[in-house]
Structure 1
Amino acid sequence: MASQYIKSKINSDAILKSAEDKRTYEGLELNNGMKVLLISDPETDKASGAMDVNIGHMKDPVDLPGLAHFCEHMLFLGTKKYEQENEYSKFLSEHGGSSNAYTSGEHTNFYFDISPEYLPGALDRFSQFFLCPLFTETATDREVNAVNSENDKNLQSDPWRIHQLEKTLTDPSHDYSKFGTGNKDTLDTIPKSNGVNVRDALLKFHDGYYSSNIMGLCVLGKESIEELTEMVVPLIANVENMNVVVPEWKDHPVGLAQMKKIAYTVPVKDVRNLSMSWPIMDLHPYFKCNPGHYLGHLVGHEGKGSLLSELKNRGWVNTLCGGQSPGAKGFMFFKVDVDLTEEGQEHIDDIITLTYQYFNMLKREGPKQWIFDECKDLSAMTFRFKGKEKPRNYTTQVAGLIHKYSLSEVLSGPYLMSEFQPDLITMVLDKLQPDRMRIFVVSKKFEDKTNIKEKWYGTDYSVEDILDSKIQMWSKCGENENLTLPEKNDFIPTDFELVTREVDPASLPELIKDSAMTQLWFKQDDTYLLPKACINFELI
């Protein structure tokens, strides 16, 4: 029965998976353009499903901020087949399950888990979200309050506030600058005052964007692949294909008018942060080379000669994180974020100088095959021995990855690197110039010194042009002799064979050291047989 709806199949042998992964996979492309990954795991204690729609709040109508998020909420509140608003949630909770969803800039992801024997009933209810949601007037009027409550919860969260400020300070005509959560004002009060029917807008959004050809479905169950195919495919084969083109933003939201800016921000909590950001191209098409990962590996290194090591030696920072940061299809960012000490707050320019001196060292040294190989080997090791994820987390993640990778590479794509392309690494590094940067400084020291309040979260901030004299200083700062490439890592393993044991391990942990200060217990693994160790410390 299912075969009539299937355009093509990718069997388990053609899907690159971890050598330790005992699950069976099959990838499907249906006649309606939907891509599906089925996972058979006879040992699972939960079944799960996730649908990722490759559309998010960046496609909200300009006059209805938060509509995509509101649409996500509304799909839980009744369908033509299951009209009772809580039918889906009730069925899941009665059978050991749960559900949730999220909306990001370019994705809306719905997911659930349930006791394995009830997967068919859950999928039947779940599939109706994408076939015939009701969007009733009463539910629409009521659910806007739930969206508003969710937004209220985030209003005092510094990560949410700072992320929105970073977006607000991009090109205001770009979709990236939008406010994605929505609230009572944007989804009820203001639309009503303007004569806009929000329910009609929800229906239009769902009808216009919830197209099968931009949906990715992942289902995990105890059943065999054949049984899962017959269970899943008929339920979603009739989701309509409207041939929606996945949005792509060729223009970066940080243009010339947004570069060379510094923003001073007052946080809610007593935190001190410095973030340096540069606009870069979308690096995902180059995932087999992964130039952003290569540079992030170096910039975020913590050993001798690293940027962090030098900054910590001077007492200016506690932590540093550097690397590529997602934007949306068509653009990305490269960021260096540091957690400042109190003294570090007084050395912002010096920290930025050291950052550019580190970049200058990388440019002089050029891309190195051995560094790429270390990144490649570490990533391959992570993939080979990655732990078994919880079903709900796994299906949620994979459903989103279906849009980014071919079905044969959907499991391995985020990990495996195979192509050393030094020109690409150099191209990204060349984008990290002083006259292209944006700086965000977050500290309580700016209280009563700012002059702007961010529209959506009420964040107090001020923004200034970076002085040309500073741009020139950073452009000509040269190198610092303390900043060097990391030493070669001699501890990356290549032989993963387990040592043969002459005696069977003890069934319980054994006390192998007992002193006045220390007790050391040891238990030899006799179950997982992986080249991993687990170490726990308890200080009394």
Structure 2
Amino acid sequence: MSARCARVKQPLGVIYTIAVVALSLFISLPSQAAANLIKSPNDSRAYQVLTLPNQLEVLLISDPATSKAAVSMDVNIGSAANPKGREGLAHFLEHMLFLGTEKYPKAGEYQAFIQSHGGAHNAFTALENTNYFFDINANDLAPALDRFSQFFIHPLFSEEYTQRERNAVHSEYRAKIRDDNRRVYAATQQIMNPEHPASRFSVGNLETLNNENGQLRKDVVAFYNQYYSANQMKLAILGKQSLDQLAELAQQYFSAIPNKSTPEFTINTPLYDPSDLPIQINIQTLKDDYGLSLSFPMPSDRDYWETKPLSLISSMVGYEGDGSLLALLKSKGWANSLGASPGQSFDNESAFSVYIGLTPEGFNHKDEIVSLFFSYIASLKTQGISQALFNEEKLLSQQAFQFLDEREPIHYVTQLSQRMADQTYPIEDILVAPYRLDRYDSDVIKRYITQITPENMVLALQANSLNSDQKAPYYNTPYQVIPLTSEQLATWSKAPTNPELFVRHTNPFIATDLSLKGGTNESTQTQLVPTQLDTGVPGLALWHLHNTQFNVPKADVWFTLLSPVAREGADASVGLHLYTDLINEQLNKLLYDAQMAGLSTQIYSHARGISVRISGYDQQIGRLLTPVVSALRHPELSSERFNRVKQDLLQSLSNADKETPYNQLFSAGYDFLLHDPNLHEQTVAAQSYTLEKLSALIDRFYQSVEVRVLANGNLLAPQALNLTRTIETQLSPVSLGEVAPDTSIVKIKSEEQFTQAVPVKHKDHAVVQYLQTANATEKEAAAVTLINEIFSAPFYSQLRTEQQLGYIVFASPMTIRKQPGMALVVQSPSTDIQVIKERMDAFMQAFTQQLSELDETTLNRFKASVLARINDQDRQLSDSTNRFWRDIDNQALSFDKRERLSAYISALTAPELKSIYEEMITRRLILQTLSTDPDL
């Protein structure tokens, strides 16, 4: 495209002049949108849309019950506007806005304020937009808005931090340089239309953000002046205040944002040059994975948001039950996953994309797999998507919207500000638009299906073993462009329908009884705790809570099977992993139908046994529970399925050393502290594992099992007991008893320090320091939580912003099996391990003095922040279930852990914190990378 991004070299003072003009508009009243927003019947919040005099559109959300306020500003400009030769400039600007404003010039002031008032913040730069967001204690919204709004009024863009933040962006780029998702996309960019901005590097590094003669600051100011205008921004504010009060806050803090009447930045060129299609690209990955993706450019579907043709087609192609493409590929041993979705969407075009995760055998049959894909498309063209299937999709969407779960405020406002900027649908539909499926239009659906042809295809193969003759810039991804032959295209174009491939049937799991049992629960949240019911069976424990506080006809039925066999080392750990993978494979068709109808199921192994989580509409939970437990006790141990899941596990284990360096250090730390089998031990065990060994393990596992069940939601006690009896019956024969194996943690003695170097195939250096308390008491757990609250913001500010050690710098509480601790993390692209440790140690020693000088007012502020975080309200059923489940796992069966922790936090003094902290820093596990310095 011809980039509409000429640099406007005007001084930063122009911004201030415009702002003064905008301030004169403050006395004008904002205009309120006339339309009423369509909201879920389960949504008690009040909404209002208004436009400030500077043409900033604002969505106000009043929620008097919320404990957190949240704000998101979406700016309708992103990396697509980067000037050529300045790749990453939009992203760099996003970073710079956090580093001081005229009113709040200190670089870390905003972050420290948000952190110390119970909040979190972040931002991201996408192709077409940049989004800034935060949440905070509901009582602290106004001062947070004051600080946040200054980003868009009077940013400093100081020369000092311009130079420093280049390093942070470069560090962010380097941290992901061996991430296969980034690497694959970088290769795919090489076959895109070079005039389309998506084809360009967008993150930025020291090269693209060079600062010769101070030019970078000039360029970032020019970019800001050109594109950051109130008329191209959308703001969402959620708070406990009334709509009128929120409107006053919006007007007070955001009316001064200059309106430069900036025209919308549009993308008019196609993502792929039609003359280049069809095309195949082979991409060499680092991970030992095999993948095949098919993408088809299409006309824009934005005008069909009420019909959603590409979503409907994706639903059919991505189906995993009877007649599906994935079911057939799995039966052949060729694939283990398949996903279909609308691809990138622009004003002028959309796309349809399919990704198939291949097995090694499937990789050898890739042409046949593409042929089978087009056979399915032939069936879809012949059979179409019937009115009945459309009605079913519509019903499921209506149910999802009717019983919409309340999202975390910070995620909710971010989502809504982006929807406002999208402008695909009327503002009154902004809440309901993703769930609208109003009109069945078979002609429109067919029009999009006809675009799925071999001649209109971008085919990408991904594997570690692929040959290459080129490397993508910035990520050095080896790739090769392969011409598709006329024979391939002819075969795929003529792919016949296949009797094993057909459009799915209607779903048997759709709920019809959506009533709340026993009426709405009017109890307050703090009074709602599970009660243990008598099952009459030793070793079978049930906790139940009839919980309708969220007004949804849903329930969570979670249970765990605990066995001492799980702690028998690598063979047991690997075997239970294979076992649960086999069960998931065996039940995949059933579970997929259930998931489509609003019933999710997780079956997984862990250090103490196996757990199952079933969540969704309560009417159908029993229908799903029986086959799930039956499969657990009587699995179909086919050699074909076993070989497939074993191969998947081996691939996963072989790819573990490709993870981000600091994540690899955490894995090594957990292995050390919990005596878990390490990666090598698991790999050796998996390589020699047989179906016979697995069968024997399953038999031994059920010789003595303890079962714990939690039923939370729209279920009465008799129903919970019946479901628990189903578990007992289906598990039979099994010996039940209280045999739950506990896991112990390594206790680090005072003045004891363990250091472990972990080989990592990455040029970044990383250090994780784990500090452990002397004892596993609730008081010490409370102290660690409070210490981390005080510690984390200055730790980030000093080591990341001031000392520029790296992009990844953070501190976090790390409680393991009731043992309190704290983890400090730094990952750097350029600083040596020894220097990182010295800087971390220096900060830790200096922090002792900070605790010594902590006054009561400051301490109370941090306490209030921690208490707000700990006691944050449950917003959906899963929040309360997760909390109760953790307590059951820890045998904290009074379910008042939050209250006890809060009491300890409230009572802690500064001298007590200092004493506990000084004891912690004498008990350390230091994990550090040992780089193998790969050729990147």
Distance 2:129 2:557 in 1: 38
Q: How does 1:22-41 map to 2 (within 5 A)?
A: 22-41=44-63
SS at match of 2:235: strand
Determine the structure 1 residue equivalent to 2:433. Answer: 413
For the pair 1:100 / 2:122, whether they are aligned, the reply is yes
Aligned partners of 2:26 and 2:53 also within 8 Å: no
State whether residues 186 and 473 of structure 2, in contact with CA within 8 Å, keep that contact through their aligned partners in structure 1.
no
User: How many residues of Structure 1 are paired with residues of Structure 2 in the alignment?
Assistant: 530
Cα offset, 1:108, TM superposition: 0.2
Give the partner amino acid of 1:311.
L
Q: 1:22 to 1:473 in 2, by over 3 A?
A: same
Larger displacement relative to structure 2 (377-386 or 241-250): 241-250
Q: What is the percent sequence identity of the aligned residues?
A: 34
- Aligned pairs for 1:330-345 (under 5 A) are 330-345=348-363
Deviation per residue, 1:143-194 (Å, 9 max, x gap): 0111001111111111111122222320112212011111111101xx63xx
Distance 2:34 2:534 in 1: 51
1:442 aligns with 2:501: no
Once the two structures are superposed, what CA deviation does each residue of 1:381-414 show, in whole Å capped at 9, x if it has no partner?
A: 1122222111111111111111124331111112
Q: Distance in 2 between matches of 1:223 and 1:334?
A: 43
Q: Residue 477 of structure 1 is aligned with which of 495, 501, 507?
A: 495
Give 1:500 deviation, angstroms.
4.4
Q: Distance in 1 between matches of 2:216 and 2:549?
A: 56
Comparing 83-92 with 44-53, greater Cα deviation is found at: 83-92
- Partner AA of 1:508 in structure 2: T
Larger radius of gyration: 2
Query: Which amino acid is the alignment partner of residue 33 of structure 2?
Result: K
1:7 is aligned to: 31
Distance 2:222 2:341 in 1: 38
Distance 1:480 1:94 in 2: 61
Give the structure-2-normalised TM-score. Answer: 0.55
Choose the corresponding residue for 2:255, options 230, 233, 237: 237
1:448-502 Cα offsets, whole Å, 9 max, x none, are x21111102111111111111101110111211111111122432344223448x
2:434 alignment partner, SS class = coil
Give the match's secondary structure for 2:350. Answer: strand
Distance (whole Å) between structure 2 residues aligned to residue 166 and residue 17 of structure 1: 40
Please list the CA deviations of residues 39-92 of structure 1 after superposition, one character each: whole Å capped at 9, or x if unmatched.
111111111111000110011001100000001001111112222222211221
Aligned partner (choices 380, 405, 428) of residue 387 of structure 1: 405
Q: Which amino acid aligns with 1:510?
A: L
Selected match of 1:278 from 296, 299, 303: 296
Return the offset for 1:416.
Answer: 1.6
Conserved in 2, the CA contact under 8 Å of 1:10 and 1:408?
no
Equivalents in 2 of 1:100, 1:494: separation in Å? 41
Return the alpha-carbon distance in structure 2 between the equivalents of residues 292 and 155 of structure 1: 33
Equivalent residue in structure 2 for 1:464, among 465, 474, 482: 482
Counterpart in the other structure of 2:723: none
Q: Which residue of 2 aligns with 1:81?
A: 103
Contact 1:506 1:524 in 2 (8 A): no
Match of 2:824 in 1: none
Deviation track 1:285-327 (CA, whole Å, cap 9, x = no partner) reads: 2111110111011001111111111111111111100121124
3-state DSSP of counterpart to 1:318:
strand
After TM superposition, the structure 1 stretch with the greater mean CA deviation from structure 2, 296-305 or 486-495, is 486-495
Query: Quick one: which amino acid aligns to residue 533 of structure 2?
Result: E
Candidates 193, 196, 217, aligned match of 1:199: 217
1:356 aligned counterpart, secondary structure: helix
Partner residue of 1:16?
A: 38
Aligned equivalents of 1:321 and 1:304: distance in 2?
16
Match of 1:116 among 132, 138, 159: 138
Indicate if the aligned counterparts of 1:10 and 1:26 stay in contact, CA closer than 8 A: no
Q: Decide which of 367, 373, 391 is 2:385's aligned counterpart.
A: 367
Name 1:487's counterpart in structure 2: 505
Q: Does 1:51 align with 2:73?
A: yes
1:182 alignment partner in structure 2: 204
Q: In structure 2, do the counterparts of structure 1 residues 539 and 458 end up closer, same or farther at CA, with 3 Å as the change threshold? A: farther
Residues in 2 aligned to 1:329 and 1:101: alpha-carbon distance in whole angstroms: 24
Task: Please tell me the residue identity of whatever aligns with 1:9.
Answer: A
For 1:224, the equivalent position in structure 2 comes to 242
The 2-side partners of 1:418 and 1:249 are apart by 29
Contact 2:26 / 2:256 at 8 angstroms: preserved in 1? Answer: no
Tell me if the contact between 2:338 and 2:356 (Cα under 8 Å) persists in the aligned partners.
Answer: yes
Once residues 196 and 87 of structure 1 are traced to their aligned partners in structure 2, the CA distance between those partners, rounded to angstroms, is: 25
In structure 2, what is the equivalent of residue 424 of structure 1?
A: 444
CA RMSD of aligned residues (A): 2.2
2:554 paired residue among 502, 527, 532 = 532
Rounded to whole Å, the distance in 2 between the matches of 1:257 and 1:510 is 69
In structure 2, distance between residues paired with 1:33 and 1:421: 37
Mapped to 2, the partners of 1:484 and 1:61 lie a distance apart of 48
Kept in 2: contact 1:300–1:321 (CA 8 A):
yes
Partner of 2:195, secondary structure, is coil
The separation in 1 between residues aligned to 2:122 and 2:239, in whole angstroms, is 18
Report the counterpart of residue 261 of structure 1 in structure 2.
Answer: 279
Cα distance change of structure 1 residues 233 and 425 upon mapping to structure 2, 3 Å threshold: same
After TM superposition, the score normalised by the length of structure 1 is 0.93
Bigger drift between 403-412 and 429-438 goes to 403-412
Structure 2 counterpart of 1:538, which letter? T
Q: Find the counterpart in structure 1 of residue 815 from structure 2.
A: none
Q: Secondary structure at the match of 2:110?
A: helix
Of 152-161 and 278-287, deviating more is 278-287
Q: CA–CA distance in 1 between the matches of 2:281 and 2:116?
A: 50
Q: Would the alpha carbon gap of residues 414 and 526 (structure 1) be closer, same or farther in structure 2, given more than 3 Å must change?
A: closer
Please give the secondary structure, in 1, of the residue aligned with 2:557.
coil
Counterpart of 1:288 in structure 2 is 306
Moved more, 102-111 or 529-538: 529-538
User: Structure 2 CA distance, aligned partners of 1:238 and 1:493?
Assistant: 51
Match of 2:71, SS state, is: strand
Equivalent position of 1:90 in the other structure: 112
Counterpart contact for 1:2–1:233, Cα < 8 Å: yes
Q: Distance in 1 between matches of 2:189 and 2:256?
A: 38
Residue ranges of structure 1 left out of the alignment (5+ in a row):
none
What amino acid does structure 1 have at the position aligned with 2:255? Answer: A
One-letter amino acid matched to 1:389: R
For 1:320, the equivalent position in structure 2 comes to 338
Q: Take 1:163 and 1:375, find their aligned partners in 2: how far apart are those partners? A: 32
Give the conservation status (yes or no) of the 8 Å contact 1:9–1:27. Answer: yes
State the distance in 2 between where 1:432 and 1:513 align: 59
Q: Choose from 508, 514, 528 the match for 2:531.
A: 508
Question: Retained in 2: the 8 A contact 1:324–1:335?
Answer: yes
Higher RCO (C-alpha 8 Å, min separation 6): 1
Map of 1:214 onto structure 2: 232
Q: Is the 8 A contact 2:74 2:417 kept in 1?
A: yes
Q: State the Cα distance separating 1:521 from its structure 2 match.
A: 5.2
Judge which range, 301-310 or 378-387, deviates more.
378-387
- Decide whether the 8 Å contact of 2:72 with 2:132 is kept in 1: yes
C-alpha separation in 2, matches of 1:142 and 1:439: 41
Q: Which amino acid in structure 1 is aligned with residue 139 of structure 2?
A: E
Q: Is contact 1:37–1:407 with CA below 8 Å preserved after alignment?
A: no
Q: Which moves more between the two structures, 115-124 or 246-255? A: 246-255
- The reply to whether residue 126 of structure 1 matches residue 144 of structure 2 is no
Between 1:84-93 and 1:299-308, the stretch displaced more is: 84-93
Deviation for aligned residue 1:10: 4.4
- In 2, distance between residues paired with 1:477 and 1:252? 28
Letter in 2 for 1:234: Q
Runs of 4+ in 1 over 6 A off after TM superposition: 503-506
Deviation at 1:243, TM superposition (A): 2.3
Contact 2:230-2:260 within 8 A present in 1 as well: yes
For residues 515 and 368 of structure 1, do their structure 2 counterparts lie closer, same or farther at Cα, with a shift above 3 Å needed? farther
